[in-house]
């Protein structure tokens, strides 16, 4: 059996809640109104009959004769005492002897004390001359009063019916209004399941449902962005692999066909392309480990001067060939940093290599380490060509092509800055870049204390 839709469940729940509420209100109102009306009738009768009894007593100075006329003349009462001709209305002497009674409370008998306690005293010149009792279980309104009660109950019934109809209509309206965002959300999820990852569901409120929709939109945007990056990454990797493989394949075919001789120079070219492939694969593996959180970082005390000397020796020849000035400085009190020595060497090597590619002959590359609050900052500053402002947020993206340095023709994999960001993040730090066209760039690496 097919289960009910959430729309039907909402409508039924709303209708059920409305019906229960209206029924309770109707019953409560009917009971209260009937009781209040009966109480009003009783109060009016007490006041009216009390006045009649007082008037009778003022005229005859006794009430003893009142007890005679019902028995002497059945169905007849003195003028103004006709209301006693209803069950449940009694006139009682102070000694609890019933003067005017009904079929249950016979005149001449003594009134039970339990019922007598609820009687209303009738006074004349400060003296109680009698008691008037209205016995509720036996008391019945007259036809006119009963008709009024029935009309009141009928009006309450029709008002309840109208309220139920309005509740159903409002339930349909409110349910549609409430479920429309859910319907839109369901449609968007269906489209995502078919591969359309970028979906935008309109946010119509700031409540919990609005927060869910906002979270869904953010998730959809993140998935679409990640998917686009994945597709771009796949295309970039294919491009990066194709170039060296094309060169290698061309040389090997030419050597096999005897078109070219296997000279040391040609073998060296093939070896260079193989090395380029190895670098690309190594860089991709490093990034994959970083993305999965499996990149091994072994932190220890690292001597800054040792790192600087290593880098100076490593880049001495290329710096000299381009007539560049490479310098290393640090604050006097800063001798050690807490990091993975091999990974930090890789970070600084990538930043220095990037700076060399973008700095013209005669330029300067300056590496400076300084203490900061809660950590150490290492800056790699160059006097090169600079980075356009619109590219600053993208330079750490993998295979980003706006930068000329991201070309395999320069012997690089195009992943250097992406690796820098991944390695520093694995250290718990952060990396930033500032640049100005024609004046150079500054890459800042922050490493937190242990």
pLDDT tens digits along 248-277:
888 888 888 888 888 888 888 888 788 778
**Phi/psi at 385 (5° precision):** -75, -20
| Residue 181: pLDDT over 80 | no
Query: Residue 363 in 3-state DSSP?
Result: coil
For residues 132 and 57, the answer to whether their CB atoms sit within 8 Å is no
Pick the residue with more confidence: 134 or 300?
300
Q: What mean pLDDT do residues 92-104 have?
A: 84
Residue 67: per-residue pLDDT: 55
> What is the SS3 string spanning 265-307?
HHHHHHHHHHHHHHHHHHHHHHHHHHHCCCCCCCCEEEEHHHH
Instruction: Name the nearest CA neighbour of 281 among 323, 329, 320, 244.
Output: 244
Residue found under tokens 């930068």 = 403
Report residue 443's pLDDT band, with 50, 70 and 90 as the boundaries: very high
How far is 418 from 351, CA to CA, in rounded Å? 11
When pLDDT is cut at 50, 70 and 90, the band that residue 105 belongs to is confident
Question: At residue 178, does pLDDT exceed 50?
Answer: yes
Q: How confident is the model at residue 408 (pLDDT cuts 50, 70, 90)?
A: very low
User: What is the reported pLDDT for 442?
Assistant: 92
DSSP 328: E
* Residue 345: pLDDT over 80: yes
Q: Give the model's confidence band at 444: pLDDT under 50 very low, under 70 low, under 90 confident, else very high.
A: very high
What gap in Å lies between CA 348 and CA 330, rounded to an integer? 15
Predicted confidence band at 430 (pLDDT cuts at 50, 70, 90)? very high
Q: Judge whether residue 415 has pLDDT over 90.
A: no
**Rounded Cα gap, residues 386 and 405, in angstroms:** 12
Dmax (CA) of the chain? 154
Q: What is the mean pLDDT of residues 223-228?
A: 82
Task: Identify which of 300, 299, 448, 450 has the alpha carbon closest to the alpha carbon of residue 374.
Answer: 448
What contacts 312, CB < 8 A, 6 or more positions away? 326, 328
| DSSP of 112-167 | PHHHHTTPEEEEETTEEEEEEEE-TTT----HHHHHHHHHHHHHHHHHHHHHHHHH
Q: What's the rounded Cα separation, in Å, for the pair 71 and 80?
A: 18
User: How far apart are the C-alpha atoms of 55 and 66, rounded to whole Å?
Assistant: 12
- pLDDT attached to residue 74: 42
Q: Provide Rg for the chain, Cα atoms.
A: 50
Q: Which residue has the higher pLDDT, 30 or 100?
A: 100
Instruction: Give the mean model confidence (pLDDT) for residues 195-213.
Output: 80
> Looking at the predicted structure, is the pLDDT value of residue 106 above 60?
yes
Instruction: Label residue 401 by pLDDT band (50, 70, 90).
Output: low
Residue 372: Cβ within 10 Å count: 12
What is the pLDDT averaged over residues 195-212?
80
> What pLDDT does 365 receive?
93
More confident residue, 34 or 301: 301
Q: What are phi and psi of 378, to 5 degrees?
A: -120, 125
Given a contact cutoff of 8 angstroms between Cβ atoms, the answer to whether 365 and 349 are in contact is: no
Q: Cβ distance 385 to 344 under 8 Å?
A: no
Over residues 130-159, the pLDDT tens digits come to 898 887 655 556 666 667 767 777 877 777
The answer to whether 309 touches 367, Cβ cutoff 8 Å, is: no
């Amino acid at each position: 059996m097919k289960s009910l839709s959430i729309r039907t469940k909402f409508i039924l729940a709303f209708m059920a809640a409305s019906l229960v509420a209206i029924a309770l209100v109707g019953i409560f109102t009917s009971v209260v109104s009937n009781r209040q009306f009966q109480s009003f009738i009783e109060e009016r009768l007490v006041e009216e009959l009390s006045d009649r009894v007082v008037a009778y007593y003022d005229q005859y100075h006794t009430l003893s004769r009142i007890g005679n006329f019902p028995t002497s003349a059945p169905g007849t009462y003195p003028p103004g005492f006709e209301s006693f001709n209803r069950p449940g209305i009694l006139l009682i002497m102070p000694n609890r002897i019933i003067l005017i009674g009904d079929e249950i409370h016979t005149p001449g008998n003594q009134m039970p004390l339990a019922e007598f306690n609820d009687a209303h005293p009738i006074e004349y010149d400060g003296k109680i001359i009698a008691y008037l009792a209205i016995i509720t279980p036996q008391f019945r309104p007259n036809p006119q009063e009963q008709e009024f009660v029935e009309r009141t109950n009928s009006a309450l019934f029709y008002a309840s019916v109208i309220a139920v109809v309005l509740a159903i209509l409002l339930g349909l309206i409110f349910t549609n209004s409430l479920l429309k965002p859910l319907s839109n959300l369901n449609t968007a999820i269906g489209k995502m399941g078919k591969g359309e990852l970028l979906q935008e569901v309109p946010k119509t409120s700031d409540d919990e449902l609005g927060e869910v929709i906002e979270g869904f939109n953010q998730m959809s945007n993140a998935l679409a962005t990640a998917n686009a990056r994945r597709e771009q990454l796949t295309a970039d990797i294919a491009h990066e692999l194709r170039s060296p493989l094309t060169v290698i394949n061309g040389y090997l075919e030419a050597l096999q066909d005897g078109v070219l001789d296997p000279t040391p120079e040609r073998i060296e070219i093939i070896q260079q392309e193989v090395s380029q492939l190895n670098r690309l694969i190594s860089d991709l593996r490093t990034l994959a480990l970083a993305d999965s959180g499996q990149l091994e970082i072994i932190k220890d005390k690292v001597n800054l001067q040792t790192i600087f000397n290593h880098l100076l020796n490593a880049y001495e020849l290329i710096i000299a060939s381009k007539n560049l000035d490479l310098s290393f400085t640090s604050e006097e009190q800063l001798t050690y940093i807490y990091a993975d020595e091999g990974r930090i060497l890789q970070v600084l090597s990538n930043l220095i290599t990037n700076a060399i590619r973008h700095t013209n002959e005669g330029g300067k590359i300056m590496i400076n380490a300084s203490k900061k609050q809660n950590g150490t900052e290492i800056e790699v500053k160059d006097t090169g060509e600079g980075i356009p402002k619109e590219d600053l947020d993208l330079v750490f993206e993998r295979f980003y092509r706006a930068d000329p340095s991201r070309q395999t023709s320069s012997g690089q994999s195009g992943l250097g800055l992406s690796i820098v960001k991944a390695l520093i993040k694995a250290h718990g730090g952060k990396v930033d870049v500032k640049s100005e066209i024609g004046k150079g760039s500054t890459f800042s690496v922050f490493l937190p204390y242990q």
